[in-house]
Amino acid sequence: MQHSPRRRLLRRCALVSTVAMTVGLSLGANGAGAQPSTGTAASVTAQAAAAPELSSPDPGVMANLFEWNWNSVGKECTDVLGPAGYGGVQVAPPQDSLRRTKLGDGNDSILHPWWEVYQPVDYKLTSRMGSEAEFKAMVKTCRQAGVKVYVDAVINHMTGQGDTSYGGRTYQRYAYSDLGVDHNASYANSDFHKYSGDCTSTTGAIDDFNNLAQVRNCELVGLSDLRTDTAKVRKTLAAYLNKLLGYGVSGFRVDAAKHVGQPDLDAIYNRLHNTVDGTRPLWALEVFGGGPGILSPQAFTTSGKVLGLDGVKQIRDAFKSYPDAHLGSIATLKVFGADSGLTAGSKTVSFVQNHDTERNGDALNYKDGARNLLATQWLLASGYGTPQVYAAFTFSTNDDSPPTTADGMITDTDCTTSAWSCTDRNAGVIGMVGWHNYVGKAKQQNWWDDGQNVIAFGRGAKGWVAFNNGPAAKKITVQTGLSAGTYCDVVHGKKSGGSCTGPTVEVKDNGKATLTVRATGAVAIRANARL
């Protein structure tokens, strides 16, 4: 059977998509020290941007509420996140995006896949998650609840398909008028690498993820690649991000940062205003690992924090590594962080999964049930990075949409249904958010493990935890580092008055405790939850 050229293109796109998301993005380009090709005269890449001033404040624990609509995010800030001690919330890309009107080009059965939001059409804020007014109200509500808002910023590209947006716009690829920022700037052909001659692949796609110029200047899964090396595009993108900062947003998760590249990231960041709190915005760069030299996550830590995508795999392998028993060995986590080959904790936003890795096999996900919760609780105890707790809609196939109205608008999150997995609300996770905040930067000490799947450690004299990733309850006797007394287990209970709503732990005069840690369970005590 012969395929039409159009059919072949679709097949290639689908293939590129799978490869890029599962393998390609985890590869990297070669070229340590190499300069990106400068292309045309309008290009300003040759001019190195000044190193950005990166002293943004520690965001505390963030919840990543992927594709929750704005009203639901605001409500969660008030009802759950603020009271629980979350310091921030990351939200999905809020700019106007592709709204598909027909099937094909990536999927043949789901009209509104979750990934529509990664195809910007303009920088007005009407999206699947709500209106600009609802977005602004959400930011205000969250800030009032003590929760700062961090936005997923899609700055590498515009759309790769379609002609209609959630904001009601019609467009053609490479021609986006009235972007809604900077005196209604627009993008034309000349603002895309496809037309600048800077993309060095024959197909226009990133065919070689180890080729620096391709990684930066060619099209990631067929998405129109912006000339972020030009002053005009940088100015337009900074205007979009500054609009968000003006609304009270505190920083950004930078989508596809590896494909923007350090010089352009630095130049855009240097144009950003301070937050409404007078601090520099968070700049958390998405850089899949595996690439050499300048494309490695390590090489982006001079431009911002990076997402802990390699850590995600180590966490998965520790909690679930053996094909037969699916038990893993969390005793391996005695060494985790810079010493296990990851980026420094101070430079990393850490998590057990995000929207890509929960689908592509790199990470544990909500389908791992108690084990996923245990890993999330462990991350909060570990002290590694700026931890995020991921909560989103459930799925059965890769492209599944979150629950929506017929036209693709995401409906209110309902944590009582199986359509959503609200890990941020899990009582044990919330207990560990409080524990994390209380122990602060206290050093890990008194490490104990059984060589397999039960571990315990303290954080200074402030807190102590144990995790059992094995199939049976285990009785342990360990040094806690805490003073003698009866403590409330904050994973299963709360101190209220002089008693605990859950089980307690007895610490002897010598600091030791004997207790049972249930299967796939944790125990955590802290100095200020002594009865």
Minimal distance, residue 335 CB to Ca ion, in Å:
35
When CB distances to Ca ion are compared, the closest residue is 259
- The helix or strand, by DSSP H or E, that contains position 180, with its residue range, turns out to be none
Site string for ligand LM2, 16-35 (x = CB under 6 A): -x---x--------------
Judged by CB, which is closer to Ca ion: 293, or 485?
A: 293
Contact set with Ca ion (CB under 5 A): 156, 225, 259
Judged by CB, which is closer to ligand LM2: 284, or 373?
A: 284
Please, which of residues 114-173 interact with ligand LM2 by CB under 6 A?
115, 118-119, 154, 160-161
**CA-based end-to-end distance of the chain:** 75
Site string for ligand LM2, 82-121 (x = CB under 6 A): -----------------------xx--------x--xx--
Side chain identity at residue 510, one-letter code: N
Residue 488: φ, ψ to 5°: -80, 130
Give the span between the Cα atoms of 398 and 396, in whole angstroms: 7
Paired residues of 348 in beta bridges = 306
> Is residue 293 a contact partner of residue 299, using CB atoms and an 8 Å limit?
yes
Closest CA to 54 of 342, 340, 254: 254
Side chain identity at residue 413, one-letter code: T
Give the span between the Cα atoms of 399 and 14, in whole angstroms: 12
> Is residue 226 a contact partner of residue 255, using CB atoms and an 8 Å limit?
no
> Is residue 86 a contact partner of residue 62, using CB atoms and an 8 Å limit?
yes
- Active-site residue, 358 included: no
The site partner of 225 among Ca ion, ligand LM2, none (C-beta below 5 to 8 Å per kind) is: Ca ion
Minimal distance, residue 160 CB to ligand LM2, in Å:
3
Q: Residue 133 burial by CB count (10 A; 0-12/13-18/19+): exposed, middle or buried? A: exposed
> Is residue 328 a contact partner of residue 282, using CB atoms and an 8 Å limit?
no
Please, which of residues 173-232 interact with ligand LM2 by CB under 6 A?
220-223
Q: What secondary structure does DSSP assign to 401-429, as a single string?
A: PPSB-TTSPBPPP-TTSTTEE-GGG-HHH
- Active-site residue, 225 included: no
Minimal distance, residue 182 CB to Ca ion, in Å:
20
Give the span between the Cα atoms of 104 and 160, in whole angstroms: 12
Neighbour tally for 44: CB within 10 Å: 17
Minimal distance, residue 114 CB to ligand LM2, in Å:
8
* Choices 9-17, 321-329, 406-414, 514-522 (CB under 6 A): range interacting with ligand LM2: 9-17
351 is a site residue for ligand LM2 (CB under 6 A): no
In this structure, what DSSP letter does residue 23 have? T
Active-site option among 198, 286, 362, 368: 286
357 is a site residue for ligand LM2 (CB under 6 A): no
520 is a site residue for ligand LM2 (CB under 6 A): no
The site partner of 255 among ligand LM2, Ca ion, none (C-beta below 5 to 8 Å per kind) is: ligand LM2
Neighbour tally for 213: CB within 10 Å: 22
Judged by CB, which is closer to Ca ion: 156, or 377?
A: 156
Q: Which of 76, 134, 191, 255 binds ligand LM2 (CB under 6 A)?
A: 255
527 is a site residue for ligand LM2 (CB under 6 A): no
Active-site option among 255, 358, 400, 424: 255
390 is a site residue for ligand LM2 (CB under 6 A): no
Judged by CB, which is closer to Ca ion: 67, or 264?
A: 264
Active site residues: 255, 286
Q: Which positions lie near ligand LM2, rule CB under 6 A?
A: 13-14, 17, 21, 105-106, 115, 118-119, 154, 160-161, 220-223, 255-256, 286, 356
